[in-house]
Chains A and B, each alone.
Chain A
Amino acid sequence: MVKKEGKIGQKITELRFSGVFDYEKLYLAMYNWLRSHYYEVSETYKHKMVATGAEIELTFKGERKESEFYKYLLDVETHFWDMVDTEVVADGKKQKLNKARFTIVIKMTVVLDYQSQFDKSGFLVRLFNWLRFTIMKERILVLWAGKLCSEAYKLDTKIKEELGMYTAYNAYS
C-alpha cells in the first residue's frame, strides 16, 4: 500500500526563559492571538504543586481550515517549572507578577486533504502524491506553508514582546 504524504510540518522555535513575567498576560496574549487569527483553539492544562513552586504544562492547539483541501495547525506547547508569585515595584507601583523558568515550543503543520478524499483507493493515493510532489509542490511549500510559517513567527514575536525579550522582532511584520 502506498503511503500518503499529506503533512508538512516543522518546529518553528523554542523559547527558554527564566525570570519575572505576567502569567495571565502571557496566557491571554497566546490565546487571543490565535483567536484573532481565526484559529479554533483547544487547550490542555496540567498543574502540579511541588516544594519549589508550581509545575504547569499548558498546550494550545490551533486549527484553521483554509479551504476544502488543506488546513493549518499551529501548536503552542509550554512547560513552566518552579512558578511562584512575586511582587515587583515598577515605575513606583507595586505589581503582582510571577517568577518561573519555562520553555515555549511553537510547531506548525499544513494538513493536505484533511477530508480524506484521496484515501479511497491506491490509485487516488498515488495521484495525490504525484500532485503533491510535482504540479502543486511550489504552491504548497512556498505559498501555503510559507504563509503559516510567517504567522507562526508573528505569534513568536508576540510572545517575546509579552515577555519583554530583546529579540522581539521579525522581518515578516
Chain B
Amino acid sequence: MPEQKLVIEGIEIGFEGVMNIKEIYKILDDWLNDNNYDKNELVNVEYLRPEGKYIELVLEPNKKVSDYVKNIIKIKAVAKNVKDVEIEQDGKKKKMQEGNLSIMFRGILETDYEGRWEQKATIFFLRVLVDKYIYKFYTDRFESALAKDVREISTQAKSFLNLYKY
C-alpha cells in the first residue's frame, strides 16, 4: 500500500450570504486543470429540502509529480439552505444563490503509489531507509510545493467569495 503523509490541513473557508455556486465550482475546476491535476470527483450530492438545497462535493484531485510521488488535494465543500435569488448588477438581472457554504482543503503526499517497493520485506525495509535518509531532501521539496498548491487554490476560492458585497 502506498504511504500517505498529511502535509497541510486546517484550511477552511466559511461563507454565508449571496454567492454564485457555479462560478465557485468553475474556479476550482479551472485551477485544477491549469495546474495539471486530475479532478477525481468522488461524490457530488444535490438534495432538495424544504429549507433549501443541500449540496455536497468531495473532490480528490491528484497529480503525479514523479514515478514515486503523487500530490493529493482533498476538497470537501458543503452548501446548506441554498436558495436561488435574483440580484441586479450594472442594470442587469443575475441569478445567484443564497446560503451557507464551507470548503475544507487538505494536502496529502503519497509515495510509492505504484506499490513497487512492497513486493518483498527487504525492499520495503530499504524503502523506509531511502525515504528517511536519502530521499528526504526531495520529499521536503515536494511537500512545500504541495502546501503551496493547497494555499493557492484555497486563496483563489476565498478571494472569489470576498468579491461578493450585496
Residues of A within 8 A of B (CB): 12-20, 101, 149, 153, 156, 160, 163, 165-172
Contacts and interface: CB of A to CB of B under 8 A. Distances in A.
Nearest to B64: A141
6 contacts: A17-B45, A163-B46, A166-B82, A167-B25, A169-B22, A170-B39
A89 B33 CA distance: 39
Q: Main SS of the interface on chain A?
A: mixed
B22 A156 contact: no
Contacts of B57: 167
A165 B44 contact: yes
Interface in B30-79: 30, 32-34, 38-39, 41-48, 53, 55, 57
Interface of B: 21-22, 25-26, 29-30, 32-34, 38-39, 41-48, 53, 55, 57, 82, 97
Contacts of A156: 41
A16 B43 contact: yes
Contacts of B43: 13-14, 16
A171 B45 CA distance: 19
A13 B29 contact: no
Contact of B44 (A18, A19, A20, A167): A167
Contacts of A19: 46-48, 53
A110 B38 CA distance: 17
Contacts of B33: 171-172
B6 to A, nearest CB: 23
Contacts of A160: 44
B93 to A, nearest CB: 15
A168 B82 CA distance: 16
Contact of B46 (A14, A166, A171, A172): A166
Nearest to B84: A166
Nearest to B79: A166
A13 B44 contact: yes
